Structure 1
């Protein structure tokens, strides 16, 4: 073989090796093919989990979405039984997650939603009657509320904060009870009370289509405890993005907006499941995929964007 042919052949071999290595680096191993991303049962969580699943499945992944409480999710990450959680509300969940961040078992990937809010509320007609702060709830007003504050699922950070206020004698909430149920159960109680012009205190947050339509007043007196303006973060078990760099690239890209989540949540509340609602939204708003899928591949090393668009019929 002539020197010219030998050099040419070597160049082709090197190019093929580089291409193979690039493909290998862009894809994830078999242990990454099933992504364990739980839900806490909130409508906003169903919305973003639906978006995530709708995007990763055409890339070749499967998704396992067990319904778990946030403390169990954190323990699951520490034990490597959970991979990703897309709905870490901060600062209200700081007490729950900080020990896991400090011991290195959980890592924060990025903020995925800005401009959210979270805290205890009363209807505006109750605020107009003088209940605007934590310390306005008790005393002569206790009976008007039937001594009940409606929270959501057991283990929730908001419930913890409210219970700590009930337990503190300085707040004058003797005889108050925290009623734990679920987002849906709490909303049924709140909607019924507001319809009847009754006094009710409960947890509320933005984004949420139903709460956004309610006449609500956020109570003061909780600012130092984590309620108020909120930012939502993507977190993973430590080492996940190194083990599964392709999913890790998607997680670094993934961000949402209040308007987007609100629209998908409304579709879920109207009866669609999270993936169906997310699919319909993405078909109508495909532009977000360009940023989300930048540098993301399918499991066989192909460009991820065309694969996802094809699955959506775009």
Structure 2
């Protein structure tokens, strides 16, 4: 090949590579998307939705099971990319140092209208337990126990802090740490026997929603009460991976959609299957999530999702 032909061929190759880069959705380093699953059914559902759609767009989602503290440490250390479960204001203490130093970024609220706090069966509320301090008036009926979920959870920490404060009238109470499933089993058994129980509750949740529960008042500035859920990413993620960052930032959920998927998960479905079935049944739901988004290689996002879901 002559020097001129070789030079021309080189220009052609450079133009081809340049065009490929221009139309690509994200850099190759962005193809794997690492998401945290902290074991809560609602976050399993939303992470399932994200994973199914990311796969359809040509990304490789990796869901890693981590506690809340390890989730934030992993975001800081660049060992994790995305967390869809920043419940606020109850997780203020968990995230504030990372936010202050800029190692973890909040890119938007993905759920509004949530609730979080200590709940009792409504028949217990009718029996005189409506505020936090009322629990201590009936210490023996509760067995001096409040049931929580996994150790390290923000809700457990708040309850422990409440027990430690004399003004809350909870002297002698203990927090029983378990898991979401273990706590719910205990609650269902107690309610079936018309027994008194207090435990950590949240909305959305299909099982808790079917239990006829009452949130206790008098939580002060603990972080319990009305809640929102935000999306966190590691520092610089959206700038580094703007296409997938745009998609993650677009994700907005509501109580009804989460409730349907959570119910399926609690009945034995894995999160991705529950999300896939919900997306198939709600074909227009992904439209706003795909606004301004392409596939990983720069293709039509809506067409790729439709094809992946069998549309």
Shorter-chain TM band? over 0.9
Q: 2:306 aligns with which of 305, 309, 314?
A: 309
* Cα root mean square deviation, aligned: 1.8
Aligned residues: 299
1:44 and 2:42 equivalent?
yes
SS at match of 1:38: strand
The worse-fitting range, judged by mean Cα deviation, of 148-157 and 23-32 is: 23-32
Matches within 5 A, 1:142-153: 142-153=139-150
List runs of 5+ in structure 2 lacking aligned partners. Answer: 1-10
List runs of 5+ in structure 1 lacking aligned partners. Answer: 1-12
Structure 1 residues 234 and 25, CA, compared in 2 at 3 Å: closer, same or farther?
Answer: farther
2:241 aligns to what? Answer: 244
1:92 and 2:94 equivalent?
no
2:184 aligns to what? Answer: 187
Offset at residue 304 of structure 1 (A):
1.2
1:102 aligns to what? Answer: 100
The answer to whether the 8 A contact 1:152-1:182 is kept is yes
1:163 aligns to what? Answer: 160
Q: 1:219 aligns with which of 195, 216, 219?
A: 216
TM score, norm. by length of structure 1: 0.91
Provide the C-alpha distance between the structure 2 equivalents of 1:174 and 1:252, rounded to a whole number of angstroms: 44
TM score, norm. by length of structure 2: 0.92
Provide the C-alpha distance between the structure 2 equivalents of 1:91 and 1:242, rounded to a whole number of angstroms: 27
1:30 aligns to what? Answer: 28
Deviations 1:238-270 (A, max 9, x none): 101111111111012111111111111111112
The worse-fitting range, judged by mean Cα deviation, of 169-178 and 255-264 is: 169-178
The answer to whether the 8 A contact 1:107-1:237 is kept is yes
1:175 aligns to what? Answer: 172
Q: 2:284 aligns with which of 282, 287, 304?
A: 287
The answer to whether the 8 A contact 2:24-2:297 is kept is no
Deviations 1:12-63 (A, max 9, x none): x9xx979956963652122211111010101101100110011000111111
